[in-house]
Every structure is written in structure tokens, then in C-alpha cells.
Amino acid sequence: MSDHSQNKMSTSVVNVNDSLTGHIISTTVGGKNGKPKQTRRYLAERIVGTGSFGIVFLAKCVETGELVAIKKVLQDRRYELFLNLVMEYVPDSMYRVSKLYTNTNQSMPLIFVKLYMHQIFRGLAYIHTVPGVCHRDLKPQNILVDPHTHQVKICDFGSAKVLIKGEANLSHICSLFYRAPELIFGATEYTTSIDIWSAGCVLAELLLGEPLFPGDNAVDQLVEIIKVLGTPSEEEVCCSNSNNFKFSQIFCKTMPPEAIDLTSQLLQYSPTLRCTALEACAHPFFDELREPNALLPDGRPFPPLFNFKQELSGASQELIDKLIPEHVKRKIGLPPTHFGGT
């Protein structure tokens, strides 16, 4: 889940020679709200990820022993200065977890698909509602998973942006397999619903064990989408809904109808017809998670799923009632209008 206000992060700019594996990276934390500044030193142990924006190290804080992830981003080529983002360390990604199943010819257990996707939608609900941010590159590689607690966090906000109505944006954004149709059509004024499309692609991939739309280029990507959703109408192309869904033919016959229904609500040509992240969380596909005695397969409790906060501001009371189970309301003594629903 991605309540970013609770994630620890500090920054520093250092010389490249200080950021190699086995070397010390120093940074300053604090200094706000009257708190004194403190120096923290991190021993870079190994590289755990690479991308177009930088390299991610696993590092250990010399002062506390805490394991952290440090993302090194080049700031100035002339002086080889790098910005280091120090964040909490989450040991795995959705991509690697999914690959573990496909490499052994197994399907991801449905309970984990539900658990992971519910947290992804919770994270999207938070960033779309509270800071008003569109991620613009949601994919399994940018979703972190703790294999012990099964807690999920959205990461890599290098392409993220606050979208302003009437302001043009890049259409060549988001990794190809997860790129919404309106982006392929060249739309420059779009909404956070492009993240919802990407989440639908992630859901389908977890259910199928492989990407749903594996295009080689933008044109081929559109062909892959049309194979599943049918040919879009002229109106759909201009705004970028097709009722010509073939999801029931794509998924196996044992796939729960709720999974197919949710996927179809996410993967709509028209951005306005895609459900919101909060509406996705309330979908019957996730009802199993809301049962009073629901537990992980090994008997341990789920990670926190229902501790909603500001993302419920403005949500209807009916939606809130679906999102927070009765047994949770009783446990925390939540009054019906606690979040100011209408």
C-alpha cells in the first residue's frame, strides 16, 4: 500500500566516487520543524535495481543498522554529481514474484492476486486523491512486495505528475504493455484514469501469468488491445467503450466471474467509463478480504487493508460502507460519518 506521507525519505547530493558499492554515502536528515540536523552514513552493499532514471542500492545505516534502499540519480554530468534518495527497503517486486510462479508453471494463488491488487488500488486512491498525482508508469516492476508480510507499495515516481486540466502532457509515457489507448492515440490531455488502465493490465497479468497486451511497438500494441476489446468506434478513438469484450475467452473457464468483471471495468477504451481506484477496492472480487476471519494461507493476518484516511474524503457513504467491513468498524468504533462521506 502506498501511504507516502508515512514513508521515510531523505536526500543528498554526493560525488560519484562516494556512491559505489562498498563505499559510504553520507546524507543529512532532519532540520525541519525545529528538529536538529543529523548526519547519517550508509554502506552501499549491492545493486538491487536499475532503470532509466538511476540505480538502486541496498545499503545499511552505519549509525542504526537499518537496511534502506538508495536510488542514485545523476544531477549534473559536468561535475558528476548525483542525488541520492534514501527510502525504506522492500525486498521484492511484483514482477519477480510473478515470475517465480510462471517459471514453475504455477498460477499465483487467487488470494494473493486479491491481496496485492487491493493494495495497489488503495495506493492509487491515495495518490490520485490526496496529492493529486498521476503515476504514469504503473507496472509490475514498479510495485514492491514484502514476501513476509505481503504488504505492497507503489514505487518509482520518476514519471509522475500532477495533472492540470487544460495543460498538455506527454503522450509518450508509461511502459508499452501498460499504456492506455488514449496515450497510444496521442492524447496530451488525459487523467489519472491512465493509471487505472495500467492497473487493469497488471491484474490481467497476475491472473494469466503473462502480459495481456504484449506489443512490440505502439501500432502493434494497439493491435493487441483490439484483439481483446474489439475495434474502437470513431467516438472512442476521438475521446481516447466497447461492449465487445472477449475476456471470458481469454481467461480459463475456472476463473471467477468477479475477476473477469473487474478486469472489464478497468480496461475500457473510454477513460470516463473506467472505474476509480476506490470503486475498484469496493468490487466484489475483493469480498474475501473483507470476511471477519480472513487470514493469509499460513494463518497469519493480512497487512493493514482498511485503515483508510484522507483518500475517503468526498466518497459517498455507500462506497465507504463497502470499503470498510462491519467487523472493522466495530473494532475501531468508527461512526458512520467519520470521514465526512456524503
Rg for the chain, CA atoms, rounded: 21
- Give the residue ranges of DSSP H helices in 190-335: 193-208, 218-229, 234-239, 247-250, 257-266, 277-281, 317-323, 326-332
Element of type H or E holding 161 = strand 161-162
SS3 121: helix
Cα–Cα distance for residue pair 314/342, rounded to 1 Å: 7
Closest C-alpha among 216, 188, 184 to residue 197? 184
Q: Is 137 a catalytic residue?
A: yes
Q: Are 67 and 43 in contact (CB under 8 A)?
A: no
Q: Among the options 18, 92, 137, 156, which is catalytic?
A: 137
Read off φ and ψ for residue 186, nearest 5 degrees. 95, 15
- DSSP-derived secondary structure letter, 271: G
Q: How far apart are CA 49 and CA 144, in angstroms?
A: 12
Catalytic residues: 137
